[in-house]
Amino acid sequence: MPKIEKVFTLDVTPTKFLEACSGEELIELELLLSSKRFQTRIDVHRKLKENY
């Protein structure tokens, strides 16, 4: 069977992404974003942004 491969780009805004999430997925995102792992990344990004 022949294989067809195609590369494409899909542009999804954060708002559109969140609107497409179920309530359960939103809760999971909230838990992930409030975790130490992601809070550290967010803090680093905010500090870099403040320096500009």
26's CB contacts (< 8 A; 6+ apart) are 18
DSSP H or E run through 24: helix 23-34
Q: Distances from the Cα of 25 to the Cαs of 20, 40, 51, in angstroms?
A: 9, 22, 34
Token pair listed for 49: 């942004």
pLDDT for position 2: 85
Q: Which amino acid appears at position 42 of this protein?
A: I
pLDDT in tens, 8-18: 899 999 999 99
pLDDT in tens, 1-52: 788 899 989 999 999 999 999 999 999 999 999 999 999 999 999 999 998 7
